[in-house]
Structure 1
Amino acid sequence: MQVKLRQLYQRMQNLDPARFSVAIGFDGFVDEIVEVVDRRQSFDSYTRMTNIRQFGERISKAAGLSTNIEFVPKTMKLGGNGPIMANALVKAGTSVSYVGSLGSPNIHPVFTELTDGCTQVFSIAEPGHTDAVEFDDGKVMLGKMESLNDVNWATLQKEVDNHQLKRIFSGADLVATVNWTMTPYMNEIWAGLLALCSPQPDDYRPYFFVDLADPSKRSPGDICEALEVIGRFSTYYRVILGLNRKEASEIASVRGLTLSKPVEDADLEEIVRALGADLGLWCVMVHPTFEAGAYVDGEYFYVEGPFTSKPRLTTGAGDNFNAGFCLGLMLQLGVEESLAVGKATSGFYVRHMHSPSRDQLLEFIRLWADRAGEEF
Structure 2
Amino acid sequence: MDYRQRALQELSEKRSNQAGKRVVVGLDGFVDTILHLVDKRSGAGENFSRIETIADFGSRVSAASGKSANIEMYPRMEKLGGNGPIMANAMVSAGFPLRYIGSLGNPNIAPVFQDFAKKTEAVSISEPGLTNAIEFNDGKIMMGITRYLEDITYGAIVESMGEGALLDELSRSSMIALVNWTMIPNMTQIWEDLLNKALPMLPPIDGGRSFFFDLADPEKRSESDLVTALRTIGKFQNHGNAVLGLNLAEGQQVSKAFGIDEDGETPESLKAMAAKIRRELGIKALVVHPKERAACATKDGEWCVEGPYVENPKITTGAGDHFNAGFMTGQQLGLSPEGCLTVGVCFSGFYVRTAKSPSLNDIDGFLHEWKS
- In structure 2, give the amino acid aligned to 1:121: A
Alignment of 1:137-216 (within 5 A): 137-194=138-195, 195-198=197-200, 201=204, 204-216=207-219
RMSD: 1.8
Deviations 1:289-310 (A, max 9, x none): 1210001014101111212111
1:111 Cα offset (Å): 1.7
SS of the aligned residue for 2:193 comes to: helix
Distance 2:271 2:94 in 1: 29
Change (3 A) 1:202 1:189: closer
Paired position in structure 1 for 2:51 = 49
Identical residues among aligned pairs (%): 40
Q: Residue 102 of structure 1: which of 89, 101, 104 is its match?
A: 104
Paired position in structure 2 for 1:238 = 241
SS of the aligned residue for 1:50 comes to: coil
**Residue 287 (1) aligns with residue 289 (2):** yes
**Residue 257 (1) aligns with residue 256 (2):** no
Paired position in structure 1 for 2:5 = 6
Change (3 A) 1:39 1:100: same
Q: Could you tell me whether the CA contact under 8 Å between 1:18 and 1:93 is conserved in 2?
A: no
Distance 2:117 2:205 in 1: 34
1:203 Cα offset (Å): 7.2
- In structure 1, give the amino acid aligned to 2:58: G
Q: Could you tell me whether the CA contact under 8 Å between 1:132 and 1:142 is conserved in 2?
A: yes
Change (3 A) 1:203 1:31: closer
Deviates more, 1:240-249 or 1:293-302: 293-302
Change (3 A) 1:50 1:202: closer
- Segments of structure 1 that go 5 or more residues without pairing to the other structure are 371-376
**Residue 329 (1) aligns with residue 331 (2):** yes
TM-score with structure 1 length normalisation?
Answer: 0.93
TM-score with structure 2 length normalisation?
Answer: 0.94
1:168 Cα offset (Å): 1.5
1:318 Cα offset (Å): 0.4
- In structure 2, give the amino acid aligned to 1:216: E
Distance 1:203 1:353 in 2: 35
Paired position in structure 1 for 2:360 = 358
- In structure 1, give the amino acid aligned to 2:254: I
Q: Could you tell me whether the CA contact under 8 Å between 1:175 and 1:208 is conserved in 2?
A: yes
- In structure 2, give the amino acid aligned to 1:67: A
Q: Could you tell me whether the CA contact under 8 Å between 1:37 and 1:48 is conserved in 2?
A: yes
Q: Could you tell me whether the CA contact under 8 Å between 2:5 and 2:371 is conserved in 1?
A: yes
Q: Could you tell me whether the CA contact under 8 Å between 2:227 and 2:257 is conserved in 1?
A: yes
Deviates more, 1:245-254 or 1:163-172: 163-172
- In structure 2, give the amino acid aligned to 1:142: M
Distance 2:264 2:5 in 1: 35
- In structure 1, give the amino acid aligned to 2:56: Q
1:41 Cα offset (Å): 2.3
Change (3 A) 1:323 1:129: same
1:37 Cα offset (Å): 0.6
**Residue 116 (1) aligns with residue 113 (2):** no
- Segments of structure 2 that go 5 or more residues without pairing to the other structure are none
**Residue 68 (1) aligns with residue 70 (2):** yes
Q: Could you tell me whether the CA contact under 8 Å between 1:249 and 1:264 is conserved in 2?
A: no
SS of the aligned residue for 1:19 comes to: coil
1:27 Cα offset (Å): 0.2
- In structure 1, give the amino acid aligned to 2:353: R
Change (3 A) 1:133 1:241: same
1:173 Cα offset (Å): 0.7
1:117 Cα offset (Å): 2.4
Distance 1:327 1:263 in 2: 25
- In structure 2, give the amino acid aligned to 1:273: A
Distance 2:236 2:140 in 1: 32
Deviations 1:103-136 (A, max 9, x none): 1111112123322322x21011111110100011
Q: Could you tell me whether the CA contact under 8 Å between 1:313 and 1:351 is conserved in 2?
A: yes
Distance 1:161 1:188 in 2: 19
- In structure 1, give the amino acid aligned to 2:132: D
SS of the aligned residue for 2:297 comes to: strand
SS of the aligned residue for 1:248 comes to: helix
**Residue 301 (1) aligns with residue 328 (2):** no
- In structure 2, give the amino acid aligned to 1:115: A
Deviations 1:170-223 (A, max 9, x none): 321110000000001101211221121136549742110000110000000100
SS of the aligned residue for 1:197 comes to: helix
Q: Could you tell me whether the CA contact under 8 Å between 1:86 and 1:114 is conserved in 2?
A: no
**Residue 247 (1) aligns with residue 246 (2):** no
Distance 2:20 2:243 in 1: 21
Distance 2:203 2:346 in 1: 32
SS of the aligned residue for 1:116 comes to: helix
- In structure 2, give the amino acid aligned to 1:170: S
Deviates more, 1:194-203 or 1:56-65: 194-203
Alignment coverage as a number of residue pairs: 366
